[in-house]
Amino acid sequence: MKLNLCPPCLIFYTDTRPDGFAGVANGPFIRICRDYKDDEGLLKHETQHCLQWWITLGLHSFLYLLSKQYKLWAETSAYKRQLKYPPASLGDVEKYRSIYAEFITTRYNLNITQAEALRLLS
């Protein structure tokens, strides 16, 4: 049996979020850029972070800040979920995977290579 967990979260479509990010989750609150309102993959990515927050009873926020290993796991699992909903404009999933591997290596201060990120997203 496969569980489809959908955590309770509040979603706001706004332009108030960190530069360079189309969406961000803070606990049960998700902010997504209005230009990405119809991006199902981005929504799934951010709800994955919301689920991580609920599963850890709120410790996700602290673990994410304190542990690079945890942050890597959190982002990898969110991007893997997002990979299941590629936008039609991007084409094949491998191109999509490469873009997210680049995000993981450049946006989160995790000190891993592109090859390592690609392997983790496979």
Q: What is the pLDDT of residues 84-104, one digit of tens each?
A: 998 776 667 888 899 999 999
Q: Which long-range contacts (CB under 8 A, 24 or more apart) does 55-58 make?
A: 58/27
How confident is the model at residue 1, as a pLDDT? 42
How confident is the model at residue 59, as a pLDDT? 97
Which residue, 70, 75, 47, 46, is CA-closest to 60?
70
Whether 3 shows a pLDDT value over 60: the answer reads: no
Q: How far is CA 112 from CA 31, 107, 108, in A?
A: 27, 11, 10
Percentage with pLDDT > 70 across the chain: 92
Q: What is the pLDDT of residues 8-63, one digit of tens each?
A: 899 999 988 888 899 999 999 999 999 999 999 999 999 999 999 999 999 999 99
Whether 81 shows a pLDDT value over 80: the answer reads: yes
* Domain spans in the chain, listed from the N-terminal domain onward: 10-121
84 Cβ contact list (under 8 Å, min separation 6): 41, 44
How confident is the model at residue 2, as a pLDDT? 45
